[in-house]
Amino acid sequence: PLGARAAAQQRERATHRLAVLGEMTGGIAHDFRNLLAAIGSGLRLAEIRAEEPESVRTYIAAARQGLDRGIELTSLVLAFAKHQELEIHAGNLNEFLRSFEPFLRYGAGPDVRVKLELGSDIPNCLIDPALFDSAVLNLVMNARDAMPSGGEIRVTTERLVQTAPTPDLPGPETYACVRVKDDGCGMAPEVLRKVFDPFFTTKGEKGTGIGMLQVQALAQMVGGRIRIKSERGIGTTVDLLFPSIQADL
């Protein structure tokens, strides 16, 4: 059975999750309307230029791209909606990461090493293991993409004591933190600003631009937070932070 603090946190989290879902839905409806508008104008232009097969092909292709994105966005929303019933477990990030390690190595691919360094005093927290695994995998794959000629990704856990609130992290609170660090290409400030925007990608055809949005939502669904530090040419560090459920810490 969960302790009183954990139970209170779980209730708080349920309310918070609804707020996150509400926020997401609002943002997504807005993006969806833009997509429909783009599809509409692509089709209208194809109609107007019906006599020019080359133009028609271009406009239809643009409309189709909008359509594909719309389908992707819908799938994302459905995936979250399906996860209404969070499978929340009280546990330790180290255990989750240990059992998920082979998948992280697989996700990193053959040219990138994954170094797992697990801290010894990580407080227990509440987590949905499936959401957690998928978030960490997403981060590892982004780190891999940032190091096209190979390198090392460090996945570490640590106990983080926040004595007073800062703009990006409430406190006083003790957090269990998982950090994914790469020394890849890093992000320019204007990329960092847009990193959670749906469909924002610098990877052209290969990118979907929904990975980081997904990670943010996955963390927030269970009351966690995400923090990013990145510098162009130096690398990127992403922290996922989950409040401790141990009142004595």
Judged by the rule CB under 6 A, the positions of this chain that interact with ligand ADP are: 142-143, 146, 182, 184-187, 191, 195, 200-203, 207-213, 236
Minimum gap (Å) between residue 106 Cβ and ligand ADP: 17
Cα 43 from Cα 63, distance rounded (Å)? 7
By beta-carbon distance, which residue lies closest to ligand ADP?
A: 211
165/97 Cα distance (integer angstroms): 28
CA contacts within 13 A on the Cβ side of 127: 29
Residue 210 C-beta: closest distance to ligand ADP, Å: 6
Give the C-alpha separation, 182 to 236, whole Å: 5
For residues 176 and 239, give the distance between their C-alpha atoms in angstroms, rounded to a whole number: 10
Residue 138: CB minimum distance to ligand ADP, A: 6
Closest contact distance (angstroms) between CB of 180 and ligand ADP is 8
User: Is 142:216 a contact under the CB 8 Å cutoff?
Assistant: no
CA distance 215 to 209: 11
Least gap, CB of 117 to ligand ADP (angstroms)? 18
Which amino acid would we find at residue 29?
Answer: A
Count CA atoms closer than 13 A to 35's CA, side-chain side. Answer: 19
